[in-house]
Amino acid sequence: MIIFLSFAAASLAVPKYSKPGCKDTCGNIRIPYPFGIGADCSVNPWYVVDCNSSKPYLSAALNHLEVLSVNLEDQTVTVNTPKISGCSRIMSIDLGRSPFLFSKSHNNFVVEGCGNAVMMDHGSTLTGCSTTCANGTVNDKNNCHGITCCQTTVPYNLKSYAMNLTRLEGHGGDGGCGSAFLLDKNSSDDPFVVRDGSFVPVSLLWTLSIGS
């Protein structure tokens, strides 16, 4: 029998920092329990963090996603995930059997450039949005309301998804289709986090499980 517990409800039973004898930081990132740096310092293997060149990464089972922060109150871990860029591109991310979910309350689905993108799960469309773009359109890095950038909410209990990015027929513009990605809402206030680079912050919600 598997019982899923809210970590917040169980927080009184666990330390607010690392386990005794374990490192609690990697670089300038604090790694509190239930996560831990090394196999003997976390609550279970899913929460193992590898500290590599002063950067923390989740375990190999989660594709070594870089950890940006851990928030015990929100029960979230913020990680770097890749954008999908270019026309007619498909990318998928699967958290598999892990205890992690993509947080609905913390993330938005964002499309940049001159394109249309949908988020799917096993062939079913979950959400999506389209930008408008024409020759002479000014790319405003401070707004994401439909002109060269759009955003929408994501579903509850999201564990896996595929993103399909295509160019909108009949729309002008000299650029490509742009990019699509999930994005932590707290990071969307910084346009340079969104528009620059190939990785963006995403928040994962976790649950602890007890087997008996």
- What is the per-residue pLDDT for 91? 79
In a domain, 46, yes or no: yes
66 pLDDT band (50/70/90 cuts)?
Answer: very high
Query: Does residue 70 carry a pLDDT above 90?
Result: yes
Counted residue by residue, the chain has a size of: 212
Confidence (pTM): 0.81
170 pLDDT band (50/70/90 cuts)?
Answer: low
Of the residues 31, 53, 71, which one is the last residue of a structural domain? 71
Q: Which sign, positive or negative, has the C-alpha torsion 119, 124, 129, 130?
A: positive
Query: Does residue 189 carry a pLDDT above 80?
Result: no
Q: Lowest mean pLDDT of 49-58, 72-81, 180-189, 198-207, name the range.
A: 180-189
Nearest to 182 by CA among 154, 205, 155, 207: 154
| 8 Å CB contact between 90 and 34 | no
Q: What letters, b where the CB count within 10 A reaches 16 and e where it falls short, cover 32-71?
A: bbbbbbeeebbbeebbbbbbeeeebbbbeebeebbbbbbe
Task: For residue range 138-155, list pLDDT tens digits in order.
Answer: 566 667 888 888 999 999
Total domain count, the chain: 2
Separation CA 54–CA 40 (nearest Å): 19
Query: Does residue 136 carry a pLDDT above 90?
Result: no
Phi, psi of 138, deg, nearest 5: -85, 130
Separation CA 163–CA 125 (nearest Å): 10
Query: Does residue 132 carry a pLDDT above 90?
Result: no
In a domain, 2, yes or no: no
Nearest to 103 by CA among 71, 131, 129, 128: 71
**66-75, 111-120, 186-195, range with greatest mean pLDDT:** 66-75
- What is the per-residue pLDDT for 89? 72
Separation CA 36–CA 85 (nearest Å): 33
In a domain, 186, yes or no: yes
Shared domain check, 87 and 41: no
Shared domain check, 104 and 23: no
Query: Does residue 59 carry a pLDDT above 60?
Result: yes
Separation CA 112–CA 130 (nearest Å): 9
Residue ranges making up the domain that contains 136: 80-201
